[in-house]
Structure 1
Amino acid sequence: MTVVGLREWVALPGLGVAGLRAKIDTGASTSSLHATDIEPFERDGEKWVRFTAHLGTVVQLRHRRCEAPLVTRKTIKSSNGHAQVRYVISTTLALGDRVWPVEFTLACRKSMRYRLLLGSKALIDGQLVVNPGIKYVQDKPVFPVSTSSTGVA
């Protein structure tokens, strides 16, 4: 098991995204990525979703147009009790020296401090243990930003 803090640097190599700050949230079961302009479409008879991933902070705004196969649509209840239907994608997540597939709901998180929330299911799948007293203890994963089949420049 790898120990992580409440905040960590992550990358999404399958989407060509690196240098993203994530909030580790053991109280949330699902993971979430800040996305707008979400459009479902079909490719070769399969359901896909196209979206703009917002990766920046207040200091540096960045965004990237992405495409990913659609896993499902899921109703998520927020901490304030509001229910919302969201698209779910699966892509690789890199945290420290670990890389594994994680399902993310796509949601507008512009009012949130962190553009990516890593939920408990991803923590279990990645065999991670959270120490709430520390943050940014894992090395920042570095992956070249590319235009793969799921990342669009």
Structure 2
Amino acid sequence: MSKPSVFLDLDQWVRLESTDSTNQYLSESSSPSGTIVTARQQLKGKGRSGRAWRSSPGAALYFSGILEWPEQPPGPFFSLACGLAVLDAVRMHCPDSTGLLLKWPNDIIRRSVHAGQSNNGTSATNQEHIEKIGGILIEGRAVSAGVWQTIVGIGLNWSEAPAAEGGDAF
């Protein structure tokens, strides 16, 4: 697999107060490879299969990046590599990142175990709780003969409001 032509430059960091979708913004722009777009709010964020990603201003981290690949697009493990990179970054910078896992193909979840209670107040079986706290959406297209673009969108919820259908806070 060939390497992407990506060199991040802060001149290519687009900061938006609000947008329909950071992925859509990059898809409709002529931004060069390596451009990063962040937004305080997404009005029409989406996940896989077009599922809605609800967004409140400042309630989550929404960003997308665009990469160009000569010859061929990345293979199926690119999604896994992106997810592991997000997990590493969150674990490095967030003190309360215990229980974070990657759920194939694109969900960041937190698994926690809580002591259950029986009806009479004594200890019972532990209960597992899984909450979705983020997602990764990868979209690709051919832009010319032998040149592919991949847009990687990442949403991480850090507030109390659910981030996605069935999601919870980080």
TM over 0.5: no
- Higher-Rg structure is 2
In the superposition, the TM-score normalised over structure 2's length comes to: 0.26
Structure holding more strand per residue? 1
Structure that is richer in helix per residue: 2
TM-score (structure 1 length as normaliser): 0.28
The higher relative CO (CA closer than 8 Å, separation ≥ 6) is in: 1
